[in-house]
Amino acid sequence: MTVDDLNRCPPEEFVAVVGPVFEHSPWIAAAVVDRRPFASRERLHAALCEVVMAAGEDRQLALIRAHPDLVGRAVAVAALTAESAREQAAAGLMALTADDRSRFDDYNSRYKARFGFPFVICARKNKKEAILRAFPERLTHTRAEEVATALDQIFQIAALRLADLLP
């Protein structure tokens, strides 16, 4: 599919194709469908990110909370979206030692207790070791800093997912 194809398709097809770019949040794609045509994948990405930034804190937090824990229960029960499963696998998170799993569980629990949402990182741009180093650093942030960081990471994830969809 191309950007031109997306510009011409029916609104419901646009949302079906672009919706998964943001984890379990097709409302973001639905919010930009009437802004077509998009000149490029980058302009589409910018429009999607603008919707998120203008959405208000409640919707932003819902978007962050739509993401699974890294190496969490969703992985154990195979409940990840196809996109998340590929991304976690690319980071080397699907074949961990018991010690690694324990560290991730501990960090995920501490992070969620401190901030009220899951730790979000662009797994395709990081490997297991980098992710494990990021947890303690990010645990020192304020909640506002972590909301901003999580959204930035989500935008990076979305850009990569769009690149997969639209060459």
pLDDT 10s digits, 62-110: 999 999 888 755 455 446 677 877 777 777 777 788 899 899 999 999 9
pLDDT 10s digits, 100-142: 989 999 999 999 999 999 999 999 999 899 999 999 999 999 9
A 10 A CB-CB count for 17 gives 16
DSSP line for 129-149: HHHHHHHHHHTTS-HHHHHHH
Q: Can you read off the two tokens belonging to residue 9?
A: 């398709």
pLDDT at 80 (0 to 100): 65
pTM of the shown model: 0.90
Q: Which residues does the annotation mark as catalytic? A: 67
Delineate the domains of the chain, giving CATH numbers in brackets. 3-56 (no CATH), 63-165 (1.10.3330.10)
pLDDT 10s digits, 134-166: 999 999 999 999 999 999 999 999 999 999 999
pLDDT 10s digits, 4-47: 999 999 999 999 999 999 999 999 999 999 999 999 999 999 99
What stretches of 55-142 show up as alpha helix (H) in DSSP?
57-65, 73-76, 82-90, 98-115, 128-138
